[in-house]
Amino acid sequence: MTNPLFDSLFAPLEQRSKGLLRLANGARLSGTEVFGQIQRAMAALAEAGVKPGDRVAVQIEKSPAALAVYAATLGMGAVFLPLNTAYTAEEVHYFLNDARPRLTLCDPTRAAGLAPLCAAFGGALATLDAAGKGSFAELGLGHLPPPVVPRAGQDLAAILYTSGTTGRSKGAMLTQDNLLSNARALAGLWRFTDQDVLLHALPIFHTHGLFVATNVALLSGGEMIFLPGFDIDSVLRLMPEATAMMGVPTFYTRLLDDPRFTAERAAGIRVFISGSAPLLPETHQQFRERTGQAILERYGMTETNMNTSNPYDGDRRAGAVGFALPGTELRLMTDEGPAAPGAVGVIEVRGRNVFAGYWNMPEKTAEELRPDGWFITGDLGRIDTEGYLHIVGRQKDMVISGGFNIYPVEIEALLDEGPGVLESAVIGLPHPDFGEAVFAVLVGRKGEDVDPVAALESLQGRLARFKQPKAAVVVTALPRNAMGKVQKAELRRLYASWFVK
Ligand code: AMP
C-alpha cells in the first residue's frame, strides 16, 4: 500500500458505480462521482501549494464537497484539520495561529474575518460553501489531479482539537495507523458490510462523525445517508432506508420525544450506536420499550479514537460502555497503583488507536501519554464483575468535599430516579467549610414540576450524607455543546458564589 488510509477508504470509489451518498434532498451520488470530486479537490490543493505534512484547516458545512476535501487532503499526504462550524472568528484565530495551515478553507461568509490572520502567517485562504461552490472549486479547474502521495502508518493524517471543556483546546495528532486500525476494529465488531446504509446526521468536524461514522462506512463499502445535521423530520423520513445509525445521546432522546418514532420506523435498522456523552439508562430503557432494540453504547475520545464497546451479540448494558476493543488495552489506575477489583480508577488505554501526542505541546503530551504508550484519559471508570466498563465521570469533575472523593455520576443516577426528574448534573462549588460542596442542577420532565427539596430528601438513606448535595436548583435545560456533552464548567461558573456569598 502506498497511502494506507486513502487506499482503504477512498481508492475503491474510483470503480464503484453503486451509490455512496444519499442526501436530504433525495439526490444520490455514486462512488465514482464522489471520486471525481476528490480528484478535483486534489488538483485544487496542489494549486494552493499544499505539500505532504502541511495542515489543511477547514471550517465548512458538512457536504459531499467537504467529504471530498477530507479525502483529497489524505491523498495529498497532508494533515486534515477540521474546525467546529460554531467557532467564532476569534476562536478560529487561536487554532490557525497554533497549527499554521498552508491552506484554510471557510464558508464565503467568513472569509473577510479570517483573511488578515492567514495573511499574517503566510497561509492561503479559499472558500467553499455547502453546495461545493467558492474559490476553492475554481482553483483546480483545468488541472490534472496529482498522484496520491505515499504515506507510512505513523505519518499524521489529521489534527483534531479537543473540545476544551476543562481547559485550553489541544490539537490531537492522529496518524494514518491510528485511524485505520480503529476503523477496522469497529467495522468488524459492529459487523459493517457493503450492504449497510448508515444514517449519518453527525457533524464531520468531530471524531464521532468523521472517523467513527464516515471511516467505518467507507471501509466496509456501505452507503451513507449524509445529512447536514440532526433534523428530526429528515431523520424520521429517511430512517426506513437505513440499516444502522450512530448518534449522540441527544439524538436518541429527541427521537423518543417524537411520537412518529415507532418500532415499525426503526425496524430496518440493525444497530443503533451511541457515544460521545453518557447515555442515560432511562433513555436506553425507553428506547428498548419503544423499538424492541437495545442501543449499543461505546466509549472513546478525540485522542484515542474508540476504546471500548458494548458487545454486538450479547448483553448491551445500560449505563456501561462495554469491553476494550480488539487491539486496545485498558486499565484503571489510582495514585497507589492499579485499582482494586470493582474500585474506581482513572482509565488508561494503550494500543494502535492512541494518538501521537498534542501538536506543539510536548509538556502536555508528556503529562498524559506515558513513555510506555499508556494514555491517561482523565475519565474515571469502574469495571463490574462481568468485565463491563462503567464511566464514573471525569477526574476533573470529581468533587472533593471535606476531604472525601465524590463521583457526581453516582449521585446523578439516583437523582434521575426522583419524581419528575428527567436528568441532573452534579458539580462541586467552592464552600468555606468543606472546600467544595456538592450541588445539584435538576431538569424536570416535560410538563412536570420538580421540587428540589423533595429531590434531595429522596437521597436520604440511599447515599452517605457527605455525598448528598447541599443545595439544588431546577432549570429548564442543561448547557450542552454540539456533541451533547453537559458543560459542567459553565454550571460551575454560573453558580460559583452559591455557598460563598
Ligand atoms: P471527545 O474528545 O470530544 O470525543 O470527548 C471525549 C470524552 O467524552 C471522553 O473522555 C468521555 O469523558 C466522554 N465520553 C465519550 N463517550 C462516552 C460514553 N459513552 N459515556 C460517557 N462518557 C463518554
Of all protein residues, the one whose alpha carbon is nearest to atom 6 of ligand 1 is 301
Q: What is the pLDDT of residues 176-225, one digit of tens each?
A: 999 999 999 999 999 999 999 999 999 999 999 999 999 999 999 999 99
Condensed to tens digits (0 to 9), the pLDDT of residues 31-55 reads 999 999 999 999 999 999 999 999 9
Mean pLDDT along residues 263-278: 96
Q: What is the mean pLDDT of residues 328-333?
A: 98
- Using the mean position of ligand 1's atoms as its centre, give its distance from the Cα of residue 128 in Å: 31
**Ligand 1 atom closest to residue 207's alpha carbon, by position in its atom list:** 4
Taking CA atoms only, the protein residue closest to ligand 1 atom 9 is 301
Is the pLDDT at 472 greater than 90? The verdict is yes
Mutate to test the pocket of ligand 1, among 211, 391, 410 (most ligand atoms within 8 A of CB): 391
pLDDT at 1 > cutoff 70 = no
Q: Give dist(CA 17, CA 223) in Å, integer.
A: 12
| pLDDT for position 353 | 98
Q: Which of 12-26, 58-72, 390-404, 473-487 has the lowest mean pLDDT?
A: 390-404
Which pLDDT band, with edges at 50, 70 and 90, does 166 fall under? low
Look at residue 165 in the predicted model and tell me its pLDDT: 55
Q: Write phi, then psi, for 368 (nearest 5 degrees).
A: -110, -20
Assign residue 276 a region: left if phi > 0, alpha if psi is -120 to 50, beta otherwise?
left
Q: Mean pLDDT across the stretch 456-460?
A: 93
User: In angstroms, how far is CA 50 from the centroid of its own chain?
Assistant: 28
Closest Cα to atom 4 of ligand 1: 301
Are the C-beta atoms of residues 373 and 350 closer than 8 Å to each other?
A: yes
Residue 256: pLDDT above 90? yes
Examine the pLDDT at 342 and tell me if it is beyond 80.
Answer: yes
Check residue 464 and give its pLDDT: 86
- Rounded to an integer, what distance in angstroms lies between the CA atom of residue 27 and that of residue 179? 29
CA of 297 to the centre of ligand 1 (A): 11
CA nearest to 118, candidates 41, 58, 169, 62: 58
pLDDT score of 89: 84
- Is the C-beta atom of 397 inside 6 A of ligand 1? no
- Determine whether the shortest distance from the Cβ of 275 to ligand 1 is under 6 A: yes
Q: Is the CB of 394 under 6 A from ligand 1?
A: yes
Residue ID of nearest Cα to ligand 1 atom 23: 277
Tell me, in angstroms, the distance from the centre of ligand 1 to residue 121's CA.
Answer: 34
- In angstroms, what is the span from residue 13 Cα to ligand 1's centroid? 32
CA of 293 to the centre of ligand 1 (A): 23
Is the pLDDT at 300 greater than 90? The verdict is yes
Q: Is the CB of 483 under 6 A from ligand 1?
A: yes
Question: Which residue shows C-alpha cell 499544499?
Answer: 50
- Beta-strand pair 328-334/305-309: unpaired
* Ligand 1 proximity of 165 Cβ (cutoff 6 Å): no
Mean pLDDT of 164-185: 89
In a 13 Å sphere around the CA of 75, the CA atoms on its Cβ side amount to: 26
The tens digit of pLDDT for each residue in 121-163 reads 899 999 999 999 999 999 999 999 999 999 999 999 999 998 7
The candidate with the shortest Cα–Cα distance to 55, out of 108, 109, 119, 105, is 105
- pLDDT at residue 316 greater than cutoff 70: yes
| Cα 306 to middle of ligand 1, angstroms | 9
pLDDT of amino acid 484:
85
Query: 491 alpha carbon to ligand 1 midpoint, in Å?
Result: 18
Which segment of 96-100, 299-303, 497-501 scores lowest on mean pLDDT? 497-501
Among residues of the chain, what percentage have pLDDT more than 90?
Answer: 86
Q: Are 269 and 240 in contact (CB under 8 A)?
A: no
Which residue's alpha carbon is at the smallest distance from atom 5 of ligand 1? 301
pLDDT of residue 396: 82
For ligand 1, atom 10, name the residue with the nearest CA. Answer: 301
For the CA atoms of 116, 121, 124, 126, the dihedral, rounded to the nearest 10 degrees, stands at -40
Atom of ligand 1 nearest to the CA of 394: 12
Q: What is the pLDDT of residue 424?
A: 96
**Reported confidence tier of residue 347, pLDDT bands at 50, 70, 90:** very high
| Percent of the chain whose pLDDT exceeds 70 | 99
| Res 428 pLDDT > 60 | yes
Once rounded to an integer, what is the mean pLDDT over residues 293-308?
Answer: 98
Confidence (pLDDT) at 68: 98
Averaged pLDDT for residues 281-307: 97
CA of 113 to the centre of ligand 1 (A): 32
The closest alpha carbon to 55, from 359, 457, 278, belongs to 359
Q: Mean pLDDT across the stretch 349-366?
A: 97
Phi, psi of 341 (to 5 degrees): -55, 130
Predicted confidence (pLDDT) at residue 402 exceeds the cutoff of 90? no
Separation of CA 114 and ligand 1 centre (Å) = 31
How far apart are alpha carbons 250 and 479 in whole angstroms? 12
Q: Which atom in ligand 1 lies closest to the alpha carbon of residue 485?
A: 8
- CB distance 307 to ligand 1 below 6 Å: no
Best probe residue, ligand 1, of 299, 310, 488 (max atoms within 8 Å of C-beta): 299
CA 391 / ligand 1 centre spacing (Å): 9
Asked whether residue 337 carries a pLDDT value surpassing 90, the answer given is: yes
Q: Output the average pLDDT for the chain.
A: 95
The string of DSSP codes covering 360-391 is T-HHHHHHHB-TTS-EEEEEEEEE-TTS-EEE
- Cβ neighbours around 493 below 10 Å, total: 10
Dist. CA 452–CA 438, nearest whole Å: 14
* Predicted pLDDT at 280: 86
Rounded mean pLDDT, 277-298: 95
Q: Ligand 1 centroid vs 298 CA: distance in angstroms?
A: 9
pLDDT tier at 164, thresholds 50, 70, 90: low
* Domains, in order of start, for the chain: 4-15+29-151 (3.40.50.980), 197-394 (3.40.50.12780), 399-494 (3.30.300.30)
The reply to whether ligand 1 has any atom less than 6 angstroms from the CB of 391 is: yes
Contact 438, 426 (CB under 8 A): yes
Handedness of CA 480, 483, 485, 489 (dihedral sign): negative
